[in-house]
Amino acid sequence: MKKIIVTGSSGLIGSEVVRFFHNEEFLVHGVDNNQRAVFFGPPGDTRWSQQRLVETLPNFRHHELDIRDRQGVVDLVKELKPDGIVHTAAQPSHDRAAAIPFDDFDTNAVGTLNMLEAARQACPESPFIHMSTNKVYGDLPNTMTLVELDTRWEYADPAYLNGIPETFSIDQSQHSLFGASKVAGDVMVQEYGRYFNMPTCCLRGGCLTGPNHSGVELHGFLSYLAKCNLEGREYRVFGYKGKQVRDNIHSEDVARFIHAFYKNPRCGEVYNLGGGKGNSCSILEAFDLVEQFSGKKQFYSYLNENRIGDHICYYSDLSKMKAHYPGWDITKTLAQTVREIVESWQERLK
């Protein structure tokens, strides 16, 4: 039986990848120490997800390991010699990073290096798939000419009709400390691919979401928005008139692409992995979508102050992904995704 390691295995993408590869008859080893609860407090706790994986998946093994533990990481990877590594563990918040810069960098940059070097020593031929972020582009997308519509901002330049491509610069912009630490990990993953000829890729995610998300205010806006709506809580909008645009991709579609890369890997690749223009929405538009499925009005307040490094308008150009992996495409529409998120919170909040 083939083996795969998934870091951040209790999180949204990690747990989805665990289930996907388990269904493909892999022995799946999950690495997670519930650090999200440390970063975000009780609302970020993912032990419920870990417990569900352990109870429902007979070929899943949980490892209580912090990716900052260099020797622990090396020992585990050498012991298992996996056929693939999917690295989803991260400190994922702009705002939180500024308060915990060392924890942020040690997790996102050093933790990624720990995983890469362990892979190079133990299984250099095994695909290494890294969940990066579109925040590696910093706020440079905000310098593009935009047009303001009734409910969203939109790109004015027809060259970006399909969204932001992988050739977009990551330099000369403000990233937030989170974005900077993710850049470090992203570039290192590329370098191990190119320098050591290892099969690696960086997936620069847009808004990765789905029904298993433990969304909090600082990370996971669609999930958090749905929870606020169902609980009758006020949602705070940070700047840009609530018209800031994000592309949203269901975690199942993320897992499907990871599997596609695993089967046909390349060295040192980069892909912008999001929902694309078709699955994009502004916060104002997201309010309407959630209300359609919950039947409840969304209350919100507005702060005329945007988050540092936040994008006004961002959606991914999926052309390169589809060209390299023509069998892959988005299968979950935005409406389907929002419906599943609302139904998941309805069940969890009972």
So what's the pLDDT on residue 134?
A: 95
pTM metric for this prediction: 0.94
Cα angle for residues 185, 264, 59 (degrees, 5° grid): 80
So what's the pLDDT on residue 307?
A: 81
Query: Mean pLDDT across the stretch 176-200?
Result: 97
So what's the pLDDT on residue 39?
A: 85
341-350, pLDDT tens digit by residue? Answer: 999 999 988 8
> Among the residues of the chain, which ranges form H helices?
12-23, 35-40, 47-56, 70-80, 94-99, 101-105, 111-122, 176-195, 221-231, 251-263, 283-294, 319-324, 334-348
255-264, pLDDT tens digit by residue? Answer: 999 999 999 9
Structural domains for the chain = 3-348 (3.40.50.720)
Q: Average pLDDT of the chain?
A: 95
So what's the pLDDT on residue 216?
A: 77
Q: State which amino acid sits at residue 113.
A: L
297-331, pLDDT tens digit by residue? Answer: 999 999 999 887 789 999 999 999 999 999 999 99
So what's the pLDDT on residue 204?
A: 98
Burial of 267 (0-12, 13-18, 19+ CB in 10 A): middle
Tell me which of 189-203, 270-284, 295-309 is least confident.
Answer: 295-309
Distance CA 73, CA 209 (A): 27
105-135, pLDDT tens digit by residue? Answer: 999 999 999 999 999 999 999 999 999 999 9
Residue 268: φ, ψ to 5°:
65, 35
32-76, pLDDT tens digit by residue? Answer: 999 888 888 887 888 989 999 999 999 999 999 999 999 999 999
Give the side-chain half-sphere CA count within 13 A for 108: 30
From 107, 108, 271, select the one nearest 204 (Cα to Cα): 271
pLDDT over 90 (residue 215)? no
Number of residues that this document lists for the chain: 350
Q: 140: helix, coil or strand?
A: helix
Binned at pLDDT 50, 70 and 90, residue 8 comes out as very high
So what's the pLDDT on residue 275?
A: 96
